[in-house]
Structure 1
Amino acid sequence: MNTRILFVGDDPAAFGMLSDFLENRGMAVYVLDGGRSLIRYMKRDMPSLIVLRDGSPSVQATAVLQTLHNEGHDTPVIVIGHPNDAVDAIICLELGAEDYLRMPCDPHELFARIQNVLRRRLQNGQSFLPGLGKCQLGSIALDFQAQAVTRAGHPVMLHPSLFPLLRLFVEHPLTVLSRRAIVAKLRDTPAGYSERSLDVLVWRLRQVLEPDPSLPRFIQTIRGRGYVFSPSGTGSHPADFDEPDATLQAQPASLRTDPHPQAIPL
C-alpha cells in the first residue's frame, strides 16, 4: 500500500467505517487523536494526505492548517466539518485546505475526493508520493529506500547525509522553503543540518542533479526567501519567483483583524 492517509480527530472510533473503506481500496490509514499529535507526527514522517475532523477542542481545523503552514508543510489536507457551516468551509479553503466535506461523510465521496486531490498533485508536477520511495527527474532516478541515484541507468555517488534534504525538496514541489523551515524539519537527522551549512549541502546536491550547476533548474534559489524545487527541471528563472507564491497567501480578510486562528502551541 503506497498511499498513506492520516486521519486526525478526537474520536478515532468515528473514523472506523471510513478507514475500513479506504483500506479495502489499497490505502494505508493511520489515526491520531488531536492537532498536537499531528504536529509531532509530521516532525518525523510525511503522509500522502491528511483528513481533519473539525469541530472538537483537540482539532480546530483553522488552527491546524495555520500551524502546518507556519511549519512549512505542504501535505494536502481535506477537512470534514459541520453540516451547515459555510463560513468554516470558506476559511479552511482560504487557509490551504484542498477540499471540505460535511458530516455525515459518505465513504465513496471521501475516496473520490482523495483520489482527485492526489491526481491534481501528480498533474502539477509531483512525481513522488511519500511511501512510494522512488522518483524520476528526467534521466535521473532516485530510490530513497535504497539511497541510490542513477543517471541514464548508471550509478551516481550521493553521500547518505544528503538524502533527507533531497527527499524534503521532492516532497514539496514548487513550494518556497525557507532555510529556517528546512533546518527545523531536518534538525534530528544524522547530518545535523544548520542554516550555516545548508548552502553547501544544496551546492553538493546541484553537482549531482543539475546538468549545469551554475544555472540550476531543479533546485533554485529564491532571493531572500529560500529554495524552490522544480520536478520538471524546466521551471521559471529564479527571478520569476520573487512575487509571493500561491502557497504562501496572506490570511483571508475576515481574519486580519482577529488574532485567531492561532497556531497550535508546540
Structure 2
Amino acid sequence: MQKKRILVVDDEPSISMLIEFNLKLAGYEVKCVYDGQAVFESIKQFRPALIVLDLMLPKINGLEVCQTLREQKSEIPIIMLTAMQDTSDKITGLNSGADDYMTKPFSPQELISRIKAIFRRLEKMPTMEDNGPLQIGELCIHQDQKEVTFAGNRIELTPKEFDLLLFLSKYEGKALSRKQLLHGIWDYHFLGDTRIVDVHISHLRDKIEVNARNPQYILTVRSVGYKLVSPPAPNTLHEKKETIHHT
C-alpha cells in the first residue's frame, strides 16, 4: 500500500523536523517547505493527501495560502498551526477553509491523531453508488459533483460548508446537537468549543436562505442544535391560513 503523503509548512526548522520525524515513524511520506509561496509548487510535484500549515509564514501567510487553495477548489485537508491561543483566531482559521486547528506547543501524537481522524472521515464519504442528487425543497445537493444549487442557481460553498449541509441532509427532519455535528463533520470533539458549528450554520444560512433571519431550511432547535427541513410550499401555507380564517 502506498504511503499517504503529508506536506509540512513551517518556517521553524526545529518544529518541521519534529513533525517530520514523528509522521515518518507513523508511516507517512513527508515533505517540508518553509514559506507560503512554496506550497503551490509543492502541491503540483508532491501531491500531498494532507497539509500541515503554519499560520505565520514568510512571503505568504498560512491564512492566505488556505484561502487561495479553497478558491482554487482544492479539497486537500489542511491542519493549521499557530502560536495564537485566542478562540477568535481558531474560528478565523477554520473559516478560511482549514479542516482543523492546533495551537503551539502541541503533542506530535495529538497531531497524528487529528490526521488519522481526517483520513477516517474521508474514507467514510459516500461512494458513487449512493452519490445521487438530494432534493430538499428548492435546494439540490449534487453529491458526485460536490455542488449545491438553489432554484437552479449554483451556490458557492466551502468544502466544510458542503460537508455540513450534506450531513444535515442525511438526517433531514432530525434535530442534531452541536456535538453530533462536530463529531460528524470534524470527526473529533473540539474541546467543548461548539461555536464553530454556529459560525458555519450562519454562513450556510446566508447562502441558501432567502432570509437568513427567518430561515426556512436550517432551523434552530432550542436546547439541542439544528435540523434541515423541506419548507412547505407557498400554496400550502396559504391554504392553512385560509382554513384558520374560516374556522
Match of 1:15 in 2: 16
Say whether the 8 Å CA contact 1:8–1:53 is kept in structure 2.
Answer: yes
Q: How is 1:63-212 mapped onto 2 (pairs within 5 angstroms)?
A: 63-125=64-126
Q: Which has the higher helix share?
A: 2
Residue 89 of structure 1 aligns to a residue whose secondary structure is helix
Structure 2 CA distance, aligned partners of 1:34 and 1:46?
17
Give the AA of the match of 1:99.
D
Structure 1 CA distance, aligned partners of 2:81 and 2:18?
14
Give the alignment's TM-score, normalised by structure 1. Answer: 0.49
In the TM superposition, residue 229 of structure 1 has moved relative to its aligned partner by: 7.1
- After superposition, what is the alpha-carbon deviation per residue over 1:150-182, rounded to whole angstroms, capped at 9, x for unaligned? xxxxxxxxxxxxxxxxxxxxxxxx8xxxxxxxx
Structure 2 CA distance, aligned partners of 1:122 and 1:4?
16
In the TM superposition, residue 242 of structure 1 has moved relative to its aligned partner by: 4.5
Structure 1 CA distance, aligned partners of 2:18 and 2:96?
28
Match of 2:243 in 1: none
RMSD, aligned CA = 3.7
Match of 1:244 in 2: 155
**Alignment CA distance shift 1:55-1:85 (3 Å):** farther
Give the AA of the match of 1:38.
V
Stretches of structure 1 that go unaligned for 5 or more consecutive residues are 128-136, 139-173, 175-216, 219-227, 254-266
Identity of aligned residues (%): 26
Q: Count residues with an aligned counterpart.
A: 155
Say whether the 8 Å CA contact 1:8–1:59 is kept in structure 2.
Answer: no
Structure 1 CA distance, aligned partners of 2:113 and 2:27?
13
Say whether the 8 Å CA contact 1:5–1:50 is kept in structure 2.
Answer: yes
Does structure 1 residue 33 correspond to structure 2 residue 34? yes
Give the AA of the match of 2:22.
F
Stretches of structure 2 that go unaligned for 5 or more consecutive residues are 134-141, 162-198, 203-247
Structure 2 CA distance, aligned partners of 1:242 and 1:116?
34
Segments ≥4 residues shifted beyond 4 Å: 235-243
Structure with more contact order per residue of length (Cα contacts < 8 Å, sep ≥ 6): 1
In the TM superposition, residue 46 of structure 1 has moved relative to its aligned partner by: 2.2
Say whether the 8 Å CA contact 2:149–2:155 is kept in structure 1.
Answer: no
Does structure 1 residue 48 correspond to structure 2 residue 49? yes
- After superposition, what is the alpha-carbon deviation per residue over 1:234-262, rounded to whole angstroms, capped at 9, x for unaligned? x999888845254266x999xxxxxxxxx
Match of 1:207 in 2: none
- After superposition, what is the alpha-carbon deviation per residue over 1:186-211, rounded to whole angstroms, capped at 9, x for unaligned? xxxxxxxxxxxxxxxxxxxxxxxxxx
Match of 1:130 in 2: none
In the TM superposition, residue 122 of structure 1 has moved relative to its aligned partner by: 1.3
Say whether the 8 Å CA contact 1:35–1:59 is kept in structure 2.
Answer: yes
In the TM superposition, residue 43 of structure 1 has moved relative to its aligned partner by: 3.3
Give the alignment's TM-score, normalised by structure 2. Answer: 0.53
- Mean CA deviation greater in 111-120 or 5-14: 5-14
Say whether the 8 Å CA contact 1:3–1:28 is kept in structure 2.
Answer: yes
